[in-house]
Structures are given as structure tokens and as C-alpha cells.
Amino acid sequence: MSRSYPIISITGSSGAGTTSVKKTFENIFRREKVAAAYVEGDAFHRYNRIEMRTKMAEEAERGNKHFSHFSPETNLFEELEKLFRDYGESGTGTVRHYVHDHQEARLYGADPGTFTEWTPLPEKSDLLFYEGLHGAVVTEKVNIAQHADLKIGVVPVINLEWIQKLHRDRSDRGYTAEAVTDTILRRMPDYINYICSTSSVCRRSTRRTRSLRAGYRRPTNRWW
């Protein structure tokens, strides 16, 4: 933890609402004229989209039906901890971006499903702001939670989380309902071990109980 270079970590599962919390902080930072260095958790996945599909197929052949983006094997936990530690000590660090779609591809100049090159953080920032899956994870090898000054775990009603993920991944990312459902089921063991467990080390936990009608159009397809 650092008074000179504080770190805010927003952590939660895919579809939990971490991006909504991030947007709230962005508005606060804009109003208070705070210069934040932003870090995306997806940037610390170990494999790009094609590589991950290949690895999942290989693991499925071995009988592992739960190989997912949530586990230590598929993420760069050591590199993420180093970023938090370096920033807390000196306000520096190295990051990259994961390109989700064609809109981001135009922004970053890289193909969807790939990573940009590693680059230094902006030279002058008031704080580091992380949003993603593993901002408070603790394993036998790493303790990322100890480096964050404020940890916020976003924990919705769980079926709302999955409904939101189904809606987002189908409408924004082009996946089928069957593909998203398969992803949710495959991630379940790692979800319990590496996502749910981080709530115990977060100082605040945000439970989203807002009705779907307040934020989303009512879907008319079969999964609703």
C-alpha cells in the first residue's frame, strides 16, 4: 500500500458489473480532476483468443472440462502483482490492452482477440485504477490483495450476473447462448476458488440488486 501512489482495485466476475462501477469512478475522477492510470484485468490473460480456444480443446481432450480464464494457469498473476508493487513504490509499471472487438481494434491498431504490445504507464498519474477478475486474488505464489489501498468486490445476485453475461456476450460480442452457457459451466470451479474467494479481502462489497428493467431492454429470446 502507498500514500504517494495509491491503488484502487475493482474486482468481480465477468458480467458482475465491474465496468459500471468503473464508469462511476471515472465520473468522480473527472469532477475532482484526478489523473488515473487505468489497468484492464483482461490484459493479464496468458493466452489470446485463438490460443485459448486451442488450449481449451486440448484440455477437454484430457478430460478437463473446467479450463477457464479464471484460473492461475491462464493468467499472468506474477506480472499483475509486479505492476501493483512497482506502482505502489514508484508510480511506474508496464501494461497492455486486450482487444475485445472491432471497435477496440480501430482504437488500438490490433486484431480482435489479441493483445497490444506492453507499454509503460503514463508518466504522471495520481493513482492506479484496476478493473477485472483478479484485483484481490491470493494464492500460494502471489498476494495481489496486499498491494491495493482500496479493494471493491462487485457481487451481484448470482443469476443476475449470468443473465447479464448472456445478454452482453450475445448482443455485444456475437456469441451464441449455447456458447456463453458452456463458458459459465466450464468456469464454475475456478469461479468458486479464485473469484468468490476474493470477496473476503475486499473492504467494500457492492451488491447489485437493480431490476433488469432499469438498465436493459427485456430480451425476447428463449433463455429469458
pLDDT per residue as tens digits for the range 152-167: 988 766 667 777 888 8
The answer to whether 117 and 96 are in contact (CB under 8 A) is yes
Every domain of the chain and the residues it spans? 7-215
Question: What is the distance between the alpha carbons of residues 133 and 205, in angstroms, rounded to a whole number?
Answer: 14
Element (H, E) at 159: helix 158-171
pLDDT at 218: 37
Average pLDDT, the chain: 86
39 pairs with which residues across the strands?
130
pLDDT tens digits, 3-28:
789 999 999 887 778 888 999 999 99
Extract the residue ranges of the chain whose pLDDT is less than 50.
Answer: 205-224
45 pairs with which residues across the strands?
75
**Fold topology of 7-215:** Rossmann fold (3.40.50)
pLDDT at 212: 30
Question: What is the distance between the alpha carbons of residues 82 and 129, in angstroms, rounded to a whole number?
Answer: 15
